[in-house]
């Protein structure tokens, strides 16, 4: 057609330094009219082609380096986008699609996201694997052969039906990103996406029409391509989007190279890297959105909880209108305070009296008669104590009363500011909020949610959290008039004081406190020493039942023991473990000796160092010593064989048993077995016990 006649051709391969053919060069027709190329011509041509090969290879390497640079820049940009757009899935996907389309130079980009809620429902319904929760067990490979592809990606119709896409993002060459929610129409793109999601294999389809025809044994492909602007689909690169667990969360598609050629291996490599970042970003954003929803649900739940956990308006108004008896009426100044005869209403009135007597209501402008904040708070605190046997509202009242007596009668208020007195009373009243009748060790053993939240001082952290929850509830914030600085200080004091009621914390602080005392410390105003003093006072108040009059201490000890035994029963039943002695109901007769050990190890050293430093609280030390005598006497009687073995609970003290039998001699036989070589001799001695004395 051109009129040019080819007479001679010299065709030589172009080889790189590995001797691999990278091209072919041809020279046509000699200009001097010769009828053949000579050996000299071949030699010269080959020399030129050596430099040609070097030039071509360098150009290819340069082109690859440019592509790799662009790819790395794209991935860096994508990584920045992931962290910038974690709070908005739509913006994140739009950025990812735009970058993918511009880098790989294609006409369209589509992203399908799986309906995870539907998958979860299907999972629960069928008790099987999630339909969209596919693990990538085999390495994805590029499929250019339609025959092989048809065999490897074929999936059943039932499997595809289980794959539900809830959202589709589509980006064209001119239009912006179009988002389709819930209403995803059947199309070629959808069916291809379903196949990729179910097979977890990458699809690189050079000709969609040929590929669809090769699947003639499968249900026919929908006639609608799925593109909103009806651009015909020629080639497509489709890849699953995986999260960190290798679960499919979506499918990404690139449609039609701008050059009109199929997608190359380089495109596949770039797209694979894209898909990894895409999966990470989408998963993080979905987790963020899920967390926001959970936070909203939590807020609603807290609002409901706050409503049910706070006192009623009627009870609050009634308490605000009631006359509050004097501190002397309730014997609040005494270390021998007893709450047994107080009604539930009186316990709240006694609490308010302590606030009034310390002038806290006026000093910190706590609404009382008009807005009734103080009354509502006290009633709400009482309501949030569970009806366990010992660590209940009345225990909190006793701890707060002991603190009040230490401040007033024990003259400890001279070492405290008004704000610190407020914080200490609040901490005492709230220090066991929502106690479940089980200790920290039990929470750890059972791997309870509380133990997961807090690895140390588990229950004490929970008590403080409940305290904060009540304060944040509507109409309960008795700290509302405080300045920001005072609020921060009092909340820090309340937290540290509540955490100090963990005996593990006491053992950590005890030596430091004794060291300060032994150095003759008289100034307790530094922040470190004040926190140390408050923590020790909290422990002293928490165990103050040990210093009450014997009839009170004995009853309190039985309540503590019964609560411990209940925990021991749970450990046997739920954990199949043998509880420690103090929680083993079968060892309840060892209670007196365990009380003696508790007094010797914890109570006496604590009260001794306190009364040596602050002599006005000596009654606590003296009361503990007196009760130790009683417990020691009971322990000795138990060793003699006098037990509570016939009672399910520790209800009748040994000395009461003797009191009931005081008019009669109680006789029991002590049998001594002496074993000799050939005989056993029995000696029986009658022992009489009259009015509690040996005869």
Binding region for Zn(2+): 395, 431-432, 542
What's the CA gap between 413 and 39, in Å, rounded? 115
Which tokens go with 474?
Answer: 């509507």
What's phi and psi for 603, nearest 5 deg?
Answer: -70, -55
What's the CA gap between 90 and 181, in Å, rounded? 11
DSSP element (H, E) containing 527: helix 527-542
In the chain, the largest separation of any two C-alpha atoms, in whole Å, equals 151
Among 155, 250, 265, 142, CA closest to 205: 142
What's the CA gap between 477 and 367, in Å, rounded? 10
Crossing angle between the packed helical segments 89-104 and 265-309, to the nearest 10 degrees = 180
What's the CA gap between 203 and 195, in Å, rounded? 9
Q: In whole angstroms, how far apart are CA 44 and each of 10, 15, 49, 53? A: 12, 15, 9, 14
Spatial neighbors of 629 by CB under 8 A, at least 6 apart, are: none
Q: In whole angstroms, how far apart are CA 539 and each of 181, 400, 550? A: 60, 12, 20
Spatial neighbors of 510 by CB under 8 A, at least 6 apart, are: 536, 605, 606
Binding site, residues? 391-395, 431-432, 542, 595
DSSP 247: B
Q: In whole angstroms, how far apart are CA 335 and each of 342, 398, 546? A: 16, 10, 11
Dihedral angle sign, alpha carbons of residues 545, 548, 550, 556: negative
Classify 88 as helix, strand or coil: coil
What's the CA gap between 435 and 433, in Å, rounded? 5
What's the CA gap between 332 and 312, in Å, rounded? 27
Binding site for AMP, residues? 391-395, 432, 542, 595
Active site residue 391: yes
DSSP 202: -
Gyration radius (Cα) of the chain, Å? 42
Burial letters for 62-98: b for 16+ Cβ neighbours within 10 Å, e otherwise? Answer: eeeeeeeeebeebbeebeebbeebbeebeebbbbbbe
DSSP 503-525: HHHHHHHHHHHHHHHHTT-----
What's the CA gap between 57 and 60, in Å, rounded? 5
What's the CA gap between 268 and 239, in Å, rounded? 9
Spatial neighbors of 275 by CB under 8 A, at least 6 apart, are: 239, 240, 241, 242, 252
Residue among 391, 435, 461, 554 flagged as catalytic: 391
What residues are annotated to the active site?
Answer: 391
């Amino acid at each position: 057609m051109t009129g040019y006649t080819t007479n001679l051709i010299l065709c030589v391969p172009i080889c790189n330094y590995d001797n691999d053919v990278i091209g072919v060069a041809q020279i046509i027709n000699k200009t001097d009219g010769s009828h053949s190329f000579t050996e000299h011509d071949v030699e010269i041509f080959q020399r030129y082609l050596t430099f040609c090969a070097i030039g071509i290879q360098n150009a290819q390497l340069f082109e690859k380096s440019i592509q790799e640079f662009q790819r790395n820049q794209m991935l860096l940009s994508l990584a920045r986008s992931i962290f910038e757009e974690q709070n908005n899935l739509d913006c994140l996907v739009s950025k990812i699609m735009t970058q993918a389309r511009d880098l790989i130079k294609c006409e369209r980009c589509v992203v399908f996201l799986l309906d995870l809620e539907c998958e979860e429902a299907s999972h629960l319904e069928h008790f099987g694997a999630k339909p969209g929760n596919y693990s990538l067990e085999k390495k994805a490979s590029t499929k250019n052969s339609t025959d092989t592809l048809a065999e490897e990606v074929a999936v059943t119709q039932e499997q595809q039906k289980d794959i539900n896409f809830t959202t589709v993002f589509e980006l064209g060459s001119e239009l912006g990103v179009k988002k389709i929610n819930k209403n995803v129409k059947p199309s070629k793109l959808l069916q291809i996406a379903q196949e990729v999601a179910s097979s977890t294999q990458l699809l690189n389809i050079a000709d969609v029409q040929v590929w669809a025809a090769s699947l003639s044994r499968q249900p026919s492909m929908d006639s609608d391509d799925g593109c909103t602007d009806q651009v015909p689909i020629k080639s497509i690169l489709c890849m699953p989007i995986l999260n960190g667990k290798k679960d499919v969360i979506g499918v990404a598609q690139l449609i039609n190279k701008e050059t009109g050629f199929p997608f190359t291996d380089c495109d596949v490599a770039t797209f694979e890297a894209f898909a990894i970042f895409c999966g990470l970003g989408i998963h993080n954003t979905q987790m963020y959105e899920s967390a926001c929803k959970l936070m909203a649900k939590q807020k609603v739940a807290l609002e409901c909880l706050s409503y049910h956990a706070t006192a009623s308006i009627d009870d609050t108004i009634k308490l605000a209108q009631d006359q509050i008896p004097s501190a002397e009426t309730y014997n609040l100044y005494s270390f021998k305070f007893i709450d047994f005869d107080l009604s539930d209403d009186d316990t709240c009135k006694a609490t308010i009296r302590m606030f009034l007597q310390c002038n806290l209501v006026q000093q910190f402008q706590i609404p009382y008669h008009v807005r009734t904040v103080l009354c509502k708070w006290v009633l709400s605190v009482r309501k949030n104590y569970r009806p366990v046997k010992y660590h209940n509202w009345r225990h909190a009242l006793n701890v707060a009363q002991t603190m009040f007596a230490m401040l007033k009668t024990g003259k400890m208020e001279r070492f405290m500011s008004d704000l610190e007195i407020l914080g200490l009373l609040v901490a005492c009243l709230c220090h066991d909020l929502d106690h479940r009748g089980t200790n920290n060790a039990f929470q750890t053993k059972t791997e309870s949610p509380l133990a997961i939240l807090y690895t140390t001082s588990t229950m004490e952290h929970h008590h403080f959290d409940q305290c904060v929850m009540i304060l944040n509830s509507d109409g309960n914030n008795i700290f509302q008039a405080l300045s920001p600085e005072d609020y921060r200080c009092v909340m820090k004091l309340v937290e540290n004081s509540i955490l100090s009621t963990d005996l593990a914390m006491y053992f950590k602080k005890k030596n430091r406190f004794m060291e300060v005392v032994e150095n003759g410390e008289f100034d307790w105003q530094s922040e470190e020493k004040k926190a140390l003093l408050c923590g020790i006072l909290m422990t002293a108040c928490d165990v103050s039942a040990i210093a009450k009059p014997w009839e009170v201490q004995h009853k309190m000890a039985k309540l503590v023991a019964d609560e411990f035994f209940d925990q021991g029963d749970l450990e046997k039943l739920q954990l199949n473990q043998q509880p420690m002695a103090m929680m083993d109901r079968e060892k309840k007769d060892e209670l007196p000796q365990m009380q003696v050990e508790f007094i010797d190890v914890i109570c006496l050293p604590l009260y001794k160092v306190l009364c040596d430093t602050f002599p006005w609280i000596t009654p606590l030390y003296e009361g503990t010593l007196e009760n130790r005598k009683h417990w020691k006497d009971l322990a000795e009687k138990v060793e003699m064989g006098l037990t509570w073995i016939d009672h399910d609970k520790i209800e009748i003290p040994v000395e009461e048993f003797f009191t009931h039998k005081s008019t009669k001699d109680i006789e029991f036989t002590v049998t001594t077995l002496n074993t000799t070589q050939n005989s056993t001799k029995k000696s029986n001695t009658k022992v009489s016990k009259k009015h509690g004395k040996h005869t």
